[in-house]
Chains A and B, each alone.
Chain A
Amino acid sequence: MSENRWSFPDLGLGVGLRTPHYAHILSEKPDIGFFEVLTENYLDTGGRPLYLLDQIAELYPMVMHGVSMSIGSTDPIDFDYLAKVKALAARTGALWISDHICWTGVLGRNTHDLLPLPYTEESLKHSVERIKVVQDYLDRPLVLENPSTYLEFSASDMPEWEWVARMAEEADCGLLFDVNNVYVSAYNHGFDPVEYIDAIPGDRVCQYHLAGHTNKGTHIIDTHNDHVLDPVWELFGHTIRHVGLRATLLEWDADIPPFEIVHQEVLKADDWRRQEVANVA
């Protein structure tokens, strides 16, 4: 167990900032560690979303989480997009910038899905080169989230966890470790989630994600539309024993309930965190 190598602070418990909660947050000022903003929601607006974001950023620590960096794509890097990301980070004082280990489109198109990569030497080299370019441009470490995936490519010549660990080491980037995504992918592909967690270099983990999912029987979809399920909480406990305490965020993106319910859900993580602190003591 250790801190992350950049000494990004453990911000405690946070939730994803979502439009239906703006009014509650500004009027009630809930006691919460931080908010994570969906980067793309604020890049092209000068209206109400940005006006409210500015106010919330005055009150709480912020981190940014994007869905369009397309770090694994074979299309050229979009520097116009990166310029806007960098400007938003400066505006909000975001402590770190995260995105996903995925690609979202090629040939100039964007499917707006987090599409899976084959876990090959070729895709690893390609992604590492791009991460380095992005980090140089942003002038800060990029933090990347392990994906939830619904298929495996036969071309993969290493397990996902090995690819992710090597990517982080070779690109010298951070990891946003999504515990629910590990559970979802483990279910879909039949691997042991604990083996995945144990292979992750803890000093590169800057943040955790937790979320609900939907079990379709044959596979699980990462829907972010419900409470975190017990097996995911168990994996979260294992993760903090292996990695340590990090800023922990609950994502709830569909069928969004009132803020208090989302807040109560992430507060459950406190029991696991306290248990870990007690074990260490």
Chain B
Amino acid sequence: MLALQLLINGILTGSGVGLVAVSFGMIYSCTRVFHVAHAGTYTISAYFVWSLLLLGLPDVVAIVAGILLCGAFGIFIQVALYEPLAKRNASQLVVLIASLGLLAVIQNLIAMIFTPNILRMPSTMLGGVLNAGSIAVTTPQLLLFILAVLTVAALIFVSRNTVFGKRIRAVSNNPGLGVITMLRPRLVYIYVMGIASAVVGITGIFNGYDLGLQPYNGTLILLTATVATIAGGIGSIAGGFLVAVGLSVLQNLSLLVIDGRWSVAITFVLFIVFMLFRPQGLMRAR
């Protein structure tokens, strides 16, 4: 039945968007930076794995290495761009513009090195399609869903139950006080950027297996993710994830009634609705 297939699709792809939303929200709530270049990290993750696969590494190794490389990339961005800007007391607008510039650099650099055409992962390991009755699901979709749920659960656990999580929340809440109490916010920002960039890499990599690689596809998924983060409530991991899944389900189900080319409109309209009626989001954590 088509509606059920669309629902399943929505949940599965939505879990990937949820990871993007959660990771973006982590960065925004902790460092106050609207890290637009997060879309670039999403995109480059698949290209990391593509290159490693071409070098002959087995899939599992390439995927793990790709995720770690994304984390390193995020740390590089924090240290090379956001920290120097913070030192210059740059306004939020300046940081935003710099982040946008970085996104343009990443996307176009990828297009220059790897061509703007859609690439396929040079591997058949994750190529299967699983069927349960009339519902079809691709292996990368299923793996992404499982990993996403596990990752979000782990992030919530760490945030609530570990000292590390408390430290992040403390610095998010009051960076000035964090400096005074020797929590070292600058180091926390590096941790957060690293972890968040690695998490978004998971989605990028598995979407790369599922749909192919393309330099400019990060912007659209980031839009849905940021809408989810804001609508879910800044600072709420569960909120962002659930809204992302919900948005994705709605986008997919809307295919029953409207043409797929307009699905970006759904996200956009929903955002406007949220802004009008519940601007603080579904579940505020702060």
Question: Are A and B genuine complex partners?
Answer: no
Which residues of B are interface residues toward A (Cβ below 8 A)?
none
